[in-house]
Amino acid sequence: MQRPLVAIVALGVFAALAALLPLGYLGLRLVEGFDSALAELMRLRTLELLLNSLALTVSVSLTALLVGSLQAWLTVRSDIRLPGLFAVLATLPLAIPSYVLALGFLSIFPWLQGFWASWFVMSIATSPYVFLAVSAALIRTSSTTEEVSRSLGYGKLQTLVRVTWPQVRPAAFASLLLVALYTLSEFGAIALLRYDTFTRAIYNAYRGSFDRTAAASLALILVAITLVVIYFERRYRGDNFSSPVAASRRVPTALGIGRSVAEIGLIVVAVLSVLIPVVALCVWGLSGSSSLDLPQLLAALGSSLSIALASGLLIGAFAIAIAIWHQRFRSRVSATIEASTWVAHSLPGVVVALALVYFGANYLQPLYQSIWLLIFGYLILFLPNALAPISAPIAQVPKSIEQVARSLGLRANQALKSVVLPIAAPGVLAGVAIVSLTVLKELPATLLLKPNGVDTLATRLWQATEVLSYAQAAPYALLLIIIAGVPALLLNSQARKLVSEVG
Amino acid sequence: MAFLAIAGLSVSYGAAAVLRDVSLDLERGQLLAVLGPSGAGKSTLLRLIAGFEKPDAGSISLDGVVLTEPTSLVPPERRNIGIVPQDAALFPHLSVRDNIAFGLRGLGDKERDARVAQLLELTRLAELAERRPDQLSGGQAQRVALARALAPKPKLVLLDEPFSALDAELRAELREQVRTALKAEGATAILVTHDQEEALSLADKVAVLRDGEIIQVGAPAEIYNSPADVGIATFLGDSVLVDGVVRDGKIATDLGNLTPLNQVTEGANGVVAIRSENFYLQPNPGGDSEIVGRVFFGHDAVLEVRTPKLTIRARSNGPFAPEVGMKVTVWVRGSVNFYPANT
């Protein structure tokens, strides 16, 4: 049995420890100031935040489930015209960071705020996740099972309830929980729409008063809720029914007169969710173009791109190390490392940033207020995002190819370097690109961890919105959509597969 | 009127006619095989009978009730027709037991359990009752699909190439089990297949479908022995086609004068179709023909024989088949079917 390179082990262990930092920080705060934390938790305000966060999370999740499932069924199973186009339209909101979406609506309706506004914007931003998951499940579901159900005496609606839905349910629930996590940890859109949830309160507690105890106590509750949701997400994810048959041909359900209604409905959703905010931003961008500070924009673009690229490469290196370790030298240790990187997954960016600020200020002085602490924060936040797309292509390289290389005289590590990695390279690069694009859009951790004097597109946008200058914010928002959102959507393999299958 | 009566069924997708004026009758308890190459319209015929599609013309009635007309369609759930799809299409979220019980509605728990148990027994699935579909082999899945279709005692069962995804050995075994199960249930069934062996061995009645038209209907032996045209003759097993002319009631060919099985007109030109197993190769050092190729299958062998005028493929009893290079005399056993040219 050959061992992995020392470098691989070192990177893996480092990443695993880094992932445990945020939880460690919260634990530390709890031990240090248990009484004050308890006092903070017992405040009425905390209860209000809890109810607000839960209300938003539950309502957004259910709305996304309804809208996304309906879009999925109509595109995959009904006889609407141009299903490929509607599939693209339904995934488009993925190209717009949720705070940009919120900004787009706010720039037309400045009075938008509170629960309903947040509900509306977050539902638009998250429906595509349900849409993609349910569409994929519907495509996997053989429509022959539906015909069998009909032949056994069940009508269309009964068949939908008893045969189609049970087969789609695991995927739908998994995406529902994903949406819940997304909503719980969302900061930008909700803060813009001035709705009080945990993330906004944590940020304000820290930013406004540097009250770390209050911030940490609130973070603790948020993490507790998040962990509950993650637990369920883990439990239900991957519980898909492996269809024993290759997807058979689909027989579209004729909607009759309902077809036009459905098409109009889908168009309305697309217009609401994408067209209106983007057009609004374009109009503001044009109207403010005379006063646009171009050097500032270019500086922000430059630092955004360089930070995103550096983070992507660094996170990619860690992800490759862990993927190789776990895929090719699988052991109990590698499994532990892999699992612990997931601990920080779905932790709200605000919480991770808070932890790093604390460690930076107290133990890592040289790093504090440096770009490295920011990149370290991205590593904790996005390593799990990189691990999945980077592991898959490495796992897919057949073991037999590696064995052939070994039989031709290469040692295990040589075989990895000269055979496995070159074959997996395109997938690995795609993974790096996806992470870089995610970094580009990240807002709360960037706000809290960026060194003074460095500004990215996202932070410039934020500063402009704080003074309610939509014209100033619009170019940054549009640039984020163009360089981060659209490429991310194009790289989304789930979306691409879906469009090619229904189109 | 027959139990199942299909009359003048036609359907086309766009410009392409898929079925043309298809008529078929089936009596209660009979098993009909619809035999045809892929693309002949077999699956479309089943989908029309099941009620998933609407014809352009024609009608389908079952047990005296009109189910399908171009103007009105009884929906699939009210037809009482069971289907066994090609890929089994078991409900992946239900166990084998629940799959079979799915169509049993309006029964008490006790009756339903009894009926499911009976079907599990019939299809030899009792030990697998609690399994999930993804834990079944292809043959097991097909048996569950059959049991599920039979459970509500449908008036008619439709089987769409149910054995095509299985390997040859399993196919033969399952074929027998399916026939037994259908007969035990007294079910009326239609099986579509492109496999002539399957059609001939399973069915009480075979209908040959080609390019959307029914070309011949009859008992299996009738179809095999007297194919209606050269196309069917070559589709159903190996046939050697030899040109011939009718003279004095016999057919003069390069293989000698042969006796026609069907009615022939004096002087007509055409071809005869001779089944490869109907050649008799008599070893004869002085014979005018020579074995030039031999493929051995165990139970029989296919031999390539060069006769003075043409080369034929003949089937011979395996262990006793002549070797390559041997001289033989070629005889044709029995009578042959003659197909005049331009028909």
Distance, C-alpha A229 to centroid of its chain: 15
Q: Dmax over Cα atoms in chain A, in whole Å? A: 73
Nearest partner of A160 among A175, A178, A145, A172, judged by Cα: A145
CB distance B89–A163 less than 8 Å? no
Beta bridge partners of B57: B10
Task: Dig out the tokens for A372 from the structure.
Answer: 């490295």
Contacts of B93 in chain A (CB under 8 A): 166-167, 169, 241
Residues from chain B contacting residue A150 (CB–CB below 8 Å):
51-52, 75-77
Pick B93's closest partner by Cβ from A155, A167, A251. A167
**Rounded to whole angstroms, how far apart are CA atoms B24 and B6?**
5
Counted residue by residue, chain A has a size of 503
Q: How far is CA A428 from CA A334, A405, A415, B9, in A?
A: 19, 21, 17, 56
Q: What is residue B323's DSSP assignment? A: P
Q: How many Cα atoms are found within 13 Å in the side-chain-facing hemisphere of B31?
A: 23
What's the CA gap between A493 and A433, in Å, rounded?
13
What is the phi/psi pair of residue B21, to 5°? 50, 55
CA distance B63 to B26: 10
- As beta bridge partners, residue B247 has B250
* Contact between residue B137 and residue B90 where contact means Cβ atoms under 8 Å apart: no
Asked whether A439 and A430 are in contact (CB, 8 A), the reply is no
In this prediction the pTM is 0.82
Burial A349-382 (b: 16+ CB within 10 A, else e): bbbbbbbbbbbbeeeeeebbbbbbbbbbbbbbbb
Of the partner residues B93, B134, B154, the one whose CB lies closest to the CB of residue A244: B134
Quickly count: other Cβ atoms within 10 Å of residue A468's Cβ.
11
| Residue B75 at interface with chain A, using a CB cutoff of 8 Å | yes
| Contacts within 8 Å (CB) and 24+ apart, A168-171 | A168/A69, A168/A134, A168/A137, A168/A138, A168/A141, A169/B93, A170/A137, A170/A236, A170/A239, A170/A240, A170/A241, A171/A133, A171/A134, A171/A136, A171/A137, A171/A240
CB A252 within 8 A of CB A82: no
Q: What share of chain B is helix, strand, coil (3-state, %, to 5)?
A: 25, 35, 35
Residue type, B257: N
Asked if B83 lies within 8 A of A244 by C-beta distance, the reply is no
The radius of gyration computed from the CA coordinates of chain A, to the nearest angstrom, equals 24
The Cα A36–Cα A214 span in angstroms is 8
The pair of three-digit structure tokens given for residue B240, joined into one six-digit string: 């050697």
Cβ distance of B77 and A154 shorter than 8 Å: yes
Taking a C-beta distance cutoff of 8 angstroms, is the pair B209, B42 a contact?
A: yes
CA A42 → CA A49, A131, A157, A221, distances in Å? 12, 39, 49, 12
Burial status of residue B278 (CB atoms within 10 A of its CB: 0-12, 13-18, 19 or more) = middle
- Contacts A–B by Cβ distance under 8 A: 84
Q: What residues of chain B, 139 to 168, have a C-beta less than 8 Å from chain A?
A: 141, 145, 148-149, 152, 154
pLDDT, position A359? 84
Q: What is chain B's pLDDT, residue by residue, as a tens digit (343 residues)?
A: 789 999 999 998 888 889 999 999 999 999 999 998 888 888 899 999 999 888 999 999 999 899 998 888 899 999 999 999 988 889 888 999 999 999 998 888 899 999 999 999 988 899 999 999 888 988 899 999 999 999 999 999 999 988 887 777 788 888 888 888 888 888 999 999 988 888 888 899 999 998 889 989 999 988 888 888 888 887 777 788 888 888 888 888 888 888 888 778 888 888 888 888 888 888 888 888 899 888 888 788 888 898 888 888 888 876 778 888 889 988 888 888 888 886 4
Question: What's the angle, vertex CA B49, arms to CA B43 and CA B50, rounded to 5?
Answer: 90
Q: Distance from B50 to chain A by nearest Cα, in Å?
A: 7
Q: Which residue of A has its CA nearest to B152?
A: A152
Q: Which of A144, A148, A167 to mutate to test the interface with B (most CBs of B within 10 A)?
A: A148
Residues A59, A62: Cα–Cα separation, whole Å: 5
Residue A23 near residue A86, CB atoms below 8 Å: no
* pLDDT tens-place values along chain A, 503 residues long: 567 788 888 888 888 888 888 888 888 887 877 777 777 777 888 889 999 999 999 999 999 999 999 999 999 988 898 888 999 999 999 889 999 999 999 989 888 899 999 999 999 999 999 999 899 888 888 888 889 999 999 988 899 899 988 888 888 888 888 899 889 889 999 999 999 998 888 888 887 766 677 788 888 888 888 888 877 777 765 555 655 444 555 677 778 888 999 999 999 999 988 899 999 999 988 887 777 788 888 999 999 999 999 999 999 999 999 888 888 788 888 888 887 777 777 778 888 888 888 888 888 888 888 889 999 999 999 988 888 888 888 888 888 888 888 888 788 788 888 888 888 888 888 889 988 998 999 999 999 888 888 899 999 999 988 887 888 889 999 999 998 888 888 888 788 888 877 76
Task: Flag if B134 and A144 touch (Cβ within 8 Å).
Answer: no
**Residues with Cβ < 8 Å from A123, sequence gap 6 or more?**
A59, A60, A63, A64, A67
**Neighbouring-strand partners of residue B109:** none
Please, which residues have CB within 8 angstroms of residue B321's CB and are 6 or more apart in sequence?
A: B294, B296, B300, B301, B303
Tokens 């390593």, residue located: A383
Chain A positions touching B83 (Cβ under 8 A) are: 147-148, 151
**What is the SS3 assignment for A110?**
coil
Residue where the block lists tokens 């059959």:
B146
Rounded Cα distance between B218 and B203, Å, is: 10
Cβ <8 Å between B83 and A248: no
The answer to whether B52 contacts A243, with C-beta atoms less than 8 Å apart, is no
Structure tokens at A107: 């720039």
The complex's ipTM? 0.80
Q: How far is B6 from chain A (nearest CA, A)?
A: 19
CB-CB under 8 Å, A145 with B78:
no
A448, amino acid identity: L
Which of B78, B102, B137 is the mutation pick for testing A, counting most A CBs within 10 A? B102
Q: What is the pLDDT of residue A244?
A: 47
Measured CA to CA, the distance from residue B90 to residue A78 in angstroms comes to: 22
Count of CB atoms situated within 10 Å of the CB of B72: 10
Instruction: Give the C-alpha separation, B150 to B177, whole Å.
Output: 14
Query: Which residues of A have a CB under 8 Å from any CB of B?
Result: 142, 144-145, 147-155, 163, 166-167, 169, 241-246, 248, 251
Supply φ then ψ for residue B258, to 5 degrees: -115, 155
Q: What's the CA gap between A234 and A346, in Å, rounded?
A: 12
